[in-house]
Chains A and B, each alone.
Chain A
Amino acid sequence: MALTNEHIKERLQQQFGEQVSEWEEHYGLLTFKAPAEMNLKVMQFLYDDEELRFRFLTDLTGIHYPNRASEELCVVYHLHNMIDNIRLRMKIYVPVSKPDVFTATQLYAGANWMERETYDFFGIQFIGHPNLKRILNVDEMDYFPMRKEYPLEDSTRIDKDDEMFGRGEL
């Protein structure tokens, strides 16, 4: 029998009880929240279980929600069971003051750069990562640019000095 979202949910609730929460199904993709310190345990369970077999890490990324008190930063894992062809999304939340998350590199070699990228842009500290340094930005950068406190310039602003761009009056 093919694996269904309901069954995955049931198995995870059986194993972790109330610790896995915020179940959602966006466009058919089962989504849940796990406690930050449990991320490896849940992923290991999903990996090892002979029925669930989520052994492919499709994507790993971060999101910043400045309004969610003490869980401002979110790490999203997209997992894929290629045998039953079903996807799963796991989210964990950490406070921006102490953004510590266990690394998934032991489980998935591919998580290495994805975590470096997430660190680079959101400042999430992946504990146990073999080489956690910036990957796309320059090493000297002292902030995490994808956080919401660094908005892009308003494209409608009018206070710009055109002279600096060679368009103004001389």
Chain B
Amino acid sequence: MSESLTRHHIKLREDSLEKETTTLNLGPTHPATHGVFQNILEIDGERVLEATPTIGYIHRAFEKIAERRPLYQITPLTDRLNYCSSPINNMGWHMTVEKLLGLKMPKRVDYLRVIIMELSRIADHLVCNSVIGVDTGALTGFVYVFQYRERIYEIFEEVCGSRLTTNIGRIGGLERNFTPAAWEKLDAFLRDFPAALREFETLLNRNRIFMERTIGAGPIDAERALNYSFTGPNLRAAGVDYDVRVQQPYSSYQDFDFDIPVGTTGDAYDRYQVRDMEMWESVKIIRQALEKLKDLDPSVYHADAPEFYLPPKTDVYTKMEALIWHFKIVMGETEIPPGEVYHSVEGANGELGFYLISDGGRSPYRLHFRRPCFIYYQAFPEMIKGGLLSDAIIAMSSLNLIAGELDA
């Protein structure tokens, strides 16, 4: 690296006022960055000497807004963090509140949540991996797997009514049970998806061009990754087997048997591989969850906590208690205990943490989101230094940066 950094391609006259490097403004809107990211690059020929990322283009002050909202109205804010896998954010938030309130979920709710979270993990990883393909010049796989992302969204649609920003579930469970159509779609997805993923793998995994482009692009070693507080697939690609689902199991993840794939070099190819393997693990987890659900009462989909869980609308119009609880919850009159809670879930990008401080009022006193994207993006300049400009693009897409999560 040092040699390439000192070798300058442009030779200037001694008295020239020009500089030997070129400043390139990559972004904020650039077709290769998939989101609002700006990087001011200092390049020498094709080599990147320095990068200065500027972020905050879609900052929406969620933490401030949350200080004025009742707890259940914060769920739609979390949708808009990592919008490729909103259900994980929604449920992470619900579990944080449940931890604060001391609610315990029935096993069936846990398993249903696991199914939804793993589906969204697949959707997220599909987007990331196929986009790495696009950035290396392989558009086919992207178009192909997006059909399966669409089918995951159809399942979400059956479960909660919306697709991208899902607002799925409620504090205290899910807002409705899975419909027969949802189960059918889930079964069909589990039947068709493995073959499609295998076919997608044949397009890229051992593809000469893809390997040449991604191996060695944007590497980071385990020690630096830990020092930079990396989590999720990007940390695991560097060889550290840290996964919140295993280390601090939530939503009954301890009942499931799955592997944590790890890489060795932490480059774009390893990140791709880790995400790829994780999709297989997610399929495995969903299958196990379906098995486990067979023994459980199929009518349970929320905890018995009327003071926090919104009653069904039909009850609100016909039953006095339901009306009272509904009014209290909607007006934010429920008793929230004061306390501090940190809860984290394994988001598609890493450890998504919620640090909630309640002073007993209707909204949080302070809510902080630990957004994995925001934390690992700061290593980006170090990862691309000395590499080619085209590697920087690959490094960025393989990190799976989501602007919504980055800027909160």
Enumerate chain A interface residues (CB-CB to B < 8 A): 26-27, 29, 31, 55-59, 61, 63-64, 76, 78, 82, 85, 87, 89, 108-114, 117, 121, 134-138, 145-146, 151-152, 155
- B60 to A, closest residue via Cβ: A136
| B230 → A minimal CB distance (Å) | 8
Find out whether the CB atom of A152 lies under 8 angstroms from the CB atom of B368.
no
**CB within 8 Å of A: which B235-269 residues:** 240, 242, 247-248
Q: A27-B339, A58-B229, A58-B370 are in contact. Are A152 and B353 (CB under 8 A)?
A: no
Q: Which of B59-107 contact A (CB under 8 A)?
A: 59, 61, 63-65, 67-68, 99-100
Size category of the binding interface on chain B: 35 or more
Q: In the bound complex, do residue A136 and residue B56 qualify as a contact, i.e. CB atoms below 8 Å apart?
A: yes
Which residues in B have their C-beta under 8 angstroms from that of A59? 342, 353, 355, 368, 370
Complex formed: what's the CA distance from A59 to B378 in Å?
14
B353, A27: Cβ atoms under 8 Å? no
B242 touches A82 (CB 8 A): yes
Interface residues of B in 320-349 (CB under 8 A from A): 339-342, 344
Task: Using known A-B contacts A109-B228, A155-B68, determine if residue A78 contacts B353 with beta carbons closer than 8 Å.
Answer: yes
The answer to whether B65 and A152 have CB atoms under 8 Å apart is yes
Q: Which residues of A contact B248 (CB under 8 A)?
A: 85
Known contacts A63-B366, A117-B374; can you find 14 more A-B pairs with CB under 8 A? A26-B341, A27-B99, A27-B342, A29-B342, A57-B229, A59-B353, A63-B365, A82-B240, A89-B342, A110-B378, A113-B378, A136-B408, A151-B68, A155-B68
Partner of B63, one of A134, A137, A146: A146
In the complex the two chains form, is A108's CB within 8 Å of B342's CB? no
List residues of chain A with CB within 8 A of the CB of B55. Answer: 135-136
Report whether over half of chain A's contact residues are helix, strand or loop; otherwise say mixed.
mixed
Inter-subunit contact B355/A78 (CB<8 Å): yes
Interchain CA distance A113-B380 in the complex, whole Å: 12
B340 touches A109 (CB 8 A): no
Q: Note all chain A residues with C-beta closer than 8 A to B377.
A: 113
B64 & A145 in contact (Cβ 8 Å cutoff): yes
Decide if A152 touches B355 in the complex (CB within 8 Å). no
CB-CB under 8 A from B229, the residues of chain A are 56-58, 108, 110-111, 114
Interface contact A110-B351, CB-CB below 8 Å: no
Contact flags (1/0) for B351-368 with A, using CB distance below 8 Å? 101010100000001101
Pairwise interchain contact B366-A27, C-beta atoms closer than 8 A: no
**What are 24 of the A-B contact pairs (CB < 8 Å)?**
A27-B340, A58-B344, A58-B353, A59-B355, A63-B365, A78-B342, A78-B353, A78-B355, A82-B242, A85-B247, A109-B228, A109-B378, A109-B379, A110-B227, A110-B230, A110-B375, A111-B229, A113-B378, A114-B375, A121-B63, A136-B55, A136-B56, A137-B56, A152-B68
Give the A-binding residues of B (Cβ under 8 A).
Answer: 55-56, 59, 61, 63-65, 67-68, 99-100, 224, 226-230, 240, 242, 247-248, 339-342, 344, 351, 353, 355, 357, 365-366, 368, 370, 374-379, 407-408
Nearest-Cβ distance from residue A3 to partner chain B, whole angstroms: 14
Asked if B342 and A113 make an inter-chain contact with CB atoms under 8 angstroms apart, the answer reads no
Interface-central residue, A89, A110, A135, A155, by most chain B CB under 10 Å: A110
| Min CB gap B402→A, angstroms | 15
B residues in contact with A89, CB < 8 Å: 342
A136 to chain B, nearest CB (A): 4
CA distance A156 to B400 in the complex (A): 40
Known: A78-B353, A152-B65. A110 touches B228 (CB 8 A): yes
Partner of A55, one of B68, B226, B374: B226
Taking CB atoms, residues of chain A closer than 8 Å to B61 are 145
A162 → chain B closest CB, angstroms? 21
Q: A78-B342, A109-B228, A135-B56 are in contact. Are A58 and B351 (CB under 8 A)?
A: yes
Contact between B340 and A112 (Cβ–Cβ < 8 Å)?
no
Q: Chain B residues with Cβ under 8 A from A146's Cβ?
A: 63-64
What distance in Å separates the Cβ of A95 from its nearest Cβ neighbour in chain B? 19
Inter-chain CA distance A135–B344, complex, in Å, is: 24
B100, B247, B342, B353: residue with the most chain A Cβ atoms closer than 10 Å: B342
Chain A residue with Cβ nearest B59? A136
CA of A85 to CA of B226, assembled, Å:
14
A76 CA to B357 CA, complexed, in Å: 12
Closest 10 CB pairs of A and B: A110-B229, A136-B56, A136-B59, A152-B68, A113-B378, A61-B368, A59-B370, A26-B340, A110-B228, A109-B227
